[in-house]
Amino acid sequence: MTTNNKVISINPRDLPRRFDVKEREAYWRTQWDALEISKHDKTASREHSFVIDSPPPTASGSLHPGHVFSYTHQDVIARYRRMTGWNVVYPMGWDDNGLPTERRVQNYFGVRAEPNVPYVENLNVRNRRKELNLDKDEQLVVSRENFIELCHIVTAEDEKTYKELFNRLGFSIDWTEEYATIDDRCRAIAQRSFLDLDERGHVYTAELPTMWDVDFQTAVAQAEVEDRPTPGAYHDIEFGVYESLMEGEESVPESFVISTTRPEMIPACVAVTAHPDDERFKPLFGKHAITPGFFAKVPIFPSEKADPEKGTGILMLCTFGDDADVEWWRTHDLELRPMVARNGEAAPRTFVPYGSEELPSFRRKPESRGAGQQRIHWGSLDPHRAQFFYDQLLGMPLDDVRTKIVEQLS
């Protein structure tokens, strides 16, 4: 090798015949860590600091190319800012306190948490399953405390896997600020934040619909819901018109037909709607429909969001079949008839005559504060027949309810 003031010449024979990528990557990783190039200066002013506060990834153990691409972008920015004199704050955390972690732990260990199960000290899942002679597909029921311990075990391994990958990729993350949403510090911060909101009067209870996981028995974020196409069929269901059948009004028809893919929701029907320009249904607006089998008296109103080309052009609104039902329920302050229990099955309900003292005397608006009354009593024009039909559905999952109702109404 020869040098001058401007050029360094290297004899090719002095270079290894094969470049060892893994060895060089490990070498530079060690050098960067020793020099602490990623560590930020905690004494630096805010004006001279560049903070990268990215949402922590979900440490579920399932790595994919997206982790490489997305974090490479922000790492390039972090390195550039350091090179231009900024104090770069680039921490990393793990979002492991939620449903993905619970689901992973449940499937990994084959367990399920129940609140009334006693805590087992030093629980060994494999040995416990053998003691109880559980089959491969049977879940071991454990206490909440034991389940949390298992969550910590799994997330610690997942976080280790993620951290090793990010280091191998050469990311310039400041690991001195590493955190996990499941750790005691983060949980305490979240709890203090909630208590602060409560003290400020921002916490309230309300009777509102939510996405619900019948397995984990918890609310689910929209981001965790996956839409999947499923086979279905339209069912033509005849609804009566109250003013014609019960009051003898001759200007309106006695009945109309709704074509629906969700006949299992008929017990929870609270209204009927059609497009305001649809001539077929204009005589029905302002009247009331009678639901088949359950004889509920529900309003019929126009809505521009109704599609005249879908089905027969007139549709039922139920609590709740989809997001559109939720929006209509909010907008029109409709009755609430929740028929699905937390386990995903048809819940017990009692049908009573309209005007009964057992019926709620008010409708709970979505923005109302305070818990709403349990809607276990439903009004019906024929409560005895409605009860007979409904009792046949008790304990059934919705797919079976659909089959049974089609059978009842055929």
Instruction: Note down pLDDT in tens along the chain; length 410 residues.
Output: 455 556 677 788 887 888 888 898 999 999 999 999 999 999 999 999 999 988 888 877 667 787 778 889 999 999 999 999 999 999 999 988 877 888 889 888 999 888 889 999 999 999 998 988 888 888 899 999 999 999 999 999 989 988 998 998 999 999 998 999 988 899 999 999 999 999 999 999 877 888 888 877 778 877 778 888 888 899 999 999 999 988 888 888 999 999 999 999 999 999 999 999 999 999 999 999 999 999 999 999 999 999 999 999 999 999 999 889 999 999 998 999 999 998 899 999 999 999 887 776 544 444 444 444 456 899 999 999 999 999 999 999 999 999 999 999 98
Reduce the DSSP state of residue 375 to 3 states and report it. coil
- Amino acid of residue 60: S
Over residues 18-52, the pLDDT tens digits come to 888 889 899 999 999 999 999 999 999 999 999 99
Class of domain 235-359+372-409: alpha beta
Domain 22-197 and domain 235-359+372-409 have a common topology:
no
Which of 395, 303, 404 shows the shortest CA–CA distance to 344? Answer: 395
User: How big is the CA angle at 312 (ends 308 and 316), to the nearest 5 degrees?
Assistant: 90
Please report the pLDDT score of residue 249 as a whole number.
86
Please report the pLDDT score of residue 254 as a whole number.
93
Q: For the chain, how many residues are written?
A: 410
Reduce the DSSP state of residue 2 to 3 states and report it. strand
Q: How far is CA 81 from the centre of its chain?
A: 37
Distance (Å, whole) CA 306 – CA 302: 8
For 398, half-sphere exposure in the C-beta direction (CA atoms, 13 angstrom radius) is: 18
- Break the chain into its structural domains and give their ranges: 22-197, 235-359+372-409
The first and second tokens of residue 150, run together, are 């298992």
Which of 330, 310, 210, 209 shows the shortest CA–CA distance to 261? Answer: 310
Fold for the domain defined by 22-197: Rossmann fold (3.40.50)
Please report the pLDDT score of residue 1 as a whole number.
46
The first and second tokens of residue 354, run together, are 């309209």
Which residues lie across from 142 on neighbouring strands? 113
Over residues 83-127, the pLDDT tens digits come to 999 999 999 999 888 778 888 898 889 998 888 899 999 999 999
Which of 334, 370, 372, 376 shows the shortest CA–CA distance to 358? Answer: 376
Neighbouring CB atoms inside 10 A of 164's CB total 10
